[in-house]
Structure 1
Amino acid sequence: MSAPDPSTVRLPGAWRHLDVRANGVRFHAVEVGPGQDTADRPLVLLLHGFGEFWWSWRHQLTALSDAGYRAVAVDLRGYGDSDKPPRGYDGWTLAGDTHGLIRSLGHTEATLVGHADGGLVCWATATLHPRVVRRIAVIASPHPRALRHDALLRHDQRSSFLPRFLYNQLPRLAENRLVRRDGAFIARYLTALAGESWRATDDFTEALARNRSAIQIPYVAHSSLEYQRWAYRSQFRPDGIRFMRLMHRRLHIPTLSLRGADDPFITEHVMRAGHVWADRLTHVEIAGSGHFAHQEQPDAVNTALLGLLDSPMERPAGADRITRGRRLRSRPADNGPARS
């Protein structure tokens, strides 16, 4: 059986498909509406997670558009119908992609919403390009320094995260696992991390089929793994050490941290630890959800996102740039009950 064509992710629906060039790459993006009616609205850029594509934001595209925002979901570099270059899956370049997308879409700033790997891109872009990011929301995506800390030093996060992460470093073997038997690994991955209520729905069945097909598009399996391979290799190289050093700065923008209460992959502790690097962080646990809260409980997630978008933008004096000069705590700590 031949591999799916990249155009198969251009699914019909209440949206239109765009090709946007940014940072030397062509990106496939999707938004609701004819375009000219939404260009003046505040931009919300939606960045998907590992093994998925823009379609994972289907519930948010319409809800955010109906609320008066220009919601744009993107196939990240290496996914779906976006370009799949052999390089550029490092934190620096991915942040540059997002910065370029905001500009190419005709905006000077945006709110970023990301799940898993897409959330890590949100953290990186807000830190490295703070002037173009108004707010961020991350779903099952801890701050990269918090994730590194807990994956090494806390048994619960280490046991859930490291085995899959380390296996994905293996060349060819990991790619073959993703695509063989019609993308069966993606079905197992979604089933293992999703909550029970979503697994019983037709929406989940459709998600399995869509993502199993999308992972088999040529070069997607390799590209999707390069995100995690750079995260591992960079720990031992000067560029990665410098990247983590730059990420050790505090954000002053409204930040929303979301986690499915039944997520078996990302712990509540590591998500709450983001307060060390974001002084306006609100953490919310989504009941009845596993790792994919935006798909499993879209109404609850959409309500939380609209609350973030309505939050005031006032910043402390002198906080137009990320904090410099004051040393942040290296080890994240518990920060008490969730704020709401």
Structure 2
Amino acid sequence: MTVGEAPSNGRSPRTVSLSGADGLKLAADIWGPDTGPSVLMLHGGGQTRHSWKATSRVLADAGLRVVALDLRGHGDSDWSPDGGYGFEKNSEDVLEVLDQIDTPTTIIGASLGGLTGLLATAAAPDRVRRLAMVDVVPRFEAAGSARIRDFMRGAPRGFASLDEAADAIAAYLPHREKPRSTDGLRRNLRLRDDGRWYWHWDPQMMEKPPTTTPGERSAQLEAAARTITVPVLLLQGKLSDVISDHGVEEFRGHVPHLEVVTLNGAAHTAAGDDNDAFSAAVVEFCSRP
């Protein structure tokens, strides 16, 4: 099914299967009117399309057509048989999805999704109208990145209960109020035959060693950034340990037209930390002529 064929009634999404690279099938939720300007939302590593639910609803209410995608190896999308989960492979998927959206699109990407969106924008400037990157730049902070990796690797045997998983998230995000209900976690975890709950992403993402050094990856991303001429917005979490002011200014050196919005109540998980301010900023950005 192409995006244009997906029925939607505004505030309730419709789930479709889109074609990615390498023959993979990618799950996506479609929000908003069929004729609205298109927005493609790319989540961070270890997340799913459901992390965009609140923002997708706000964007749909503003008349925008939102495609919230599960990246390969995440959520309900296919897993890569060879463990191909680098920025380049994700970018290849996005280029396939942009073909199916079939109209110039604004990309909003968080963390992994932001760097994926950067590469896709550089590769297909005729298909991307704007790029919004959420708390990520090509040269991010090693300590913050390591903390994310440690969390994602932290439960190889899963959790005995949803409450145990909720406690792990609360320890990882101490600045955020712990939800009273664990119902939302069911979208990010799967109950296996052994009776334990596991994160719903492919473990190969964390097990397969990278083929390039961090410096080489950053240089590749910076080279792509220098070719981008469409508007670029960076939404920076004030409390983030993943990007620094120095990293932001380095990025601006490669993208002189970069706009920056600082979310004072947010850390790296900006959309969930300060959703009202985040949603207001992206609605304004996506609604420009």
Which TM class, normalised by the smaller chain length?
0.7 to 0.9
Deviation at 1:119, TM superposition (A): 0.9
TM-score scaled to structure 2, two decimals? 0.79
Alignment-derived partner of residue 89 in structure 2:
93
Q: Quick one: distance in 2 between partners of 1:19 and 1:287? A: 36
Deviation at 1:163, TM superposition (A): 5.9
Q: Deviations over 1:77-121 (max 9, x none)?
A: 11111111223323322111111101123x232110011111111
Q: Quick one: distance in 2 between partners of 1:133 and 1:43? A: 10
Residues 39/187 of structure 1: CA separation in 2 closer, same or farther (3 Å cut): same
Work out the number of aligned pairs and report it: 272
Match of 1:249 among 204, 214, 226: 226
Residues 95 and 125 in structure 1, CA contact (< 8 A), matched pair in contact too: yes
Q: Quick one: distance in 1 between partners of 2:164 and 2:128? A: 35
Alignment-derived partner of residue 144 in structure 2:
160
Q: Quick one: distance in 1 between partners of 2:229 and 2:86? A: 24
Deviation at 1:210, TM superposition (A): 3.8
Q: Quick one: distance in 1 between partners of 2:166 and 2:228? A: 36
Q: Quick one: distance in 2 between partners of 1:285 and 1:20? A: 33
Q: Quick one: distance in 1 between partners of 2:230 and 2:126? A: 11
Residues 255/17 of structure 1: CA separation in 2 closer, same or farther (3 Å cut): same
Deviation at 1:242, TM superposition (A): 8.7
Residues 14 and 31 in structure 2, CA contact (< 8 A), matched pair in contact too: yes
Q: Deviations over 1:126-177 (max 9, x none)?
A: 12222211101111221x2x23xxxxxxxxx333334654897xxxxx4853
Identity %: 25
TM-score scaled to structure 1, two decimals? 0.69
Residues 277/193 of structure 1: CA separation in 2 closer, same or farther (3 Å cut): farther
Give 5+ residue unaligned stretches, structure 2.
1-10, 192-196
Q: Quick one: distance in 2 between partners of 1:263 and 1:185? A: 25
Structural mapping, 1:1-340, within 5 Å: 14-23=12-21, 24-33=23-32, 38-87=33-82, 88-105=84-101, 107-142=102-137, 144=138, 146-147=139-140, 157-162=141-146, 165=149, 174=153, 177=156, 179-181=158-160, 187=166, 190-194=169-173, 196=175, 198-202=176-180, 205-208=182-185, 210-213=187-190, 216=198, 220-225=201-206, 232-235=210-213, 243-244=220-221, 246-247=223-224, 249-311=226-288
Residues 22 and 100 in structure 1, CA contact (< 8 A), matched pair in contact too: yes
| The structure with more helix, counted as a fraction of residues | 1
3-state SS of paired residue (1:302): helix
- Return 186-195 or 13-22, whichever deviates more: 186-195
Residues 237/116 of structure 1: CA separation in 2 closer, same or farther (3 Å cut): closer
Q: Quick one: distance in 1 between partners of 2:106 and 2:74? A: 21
3-state SS of paired residue (1:86): coil
3-state SS of paired residue (1:216): strand
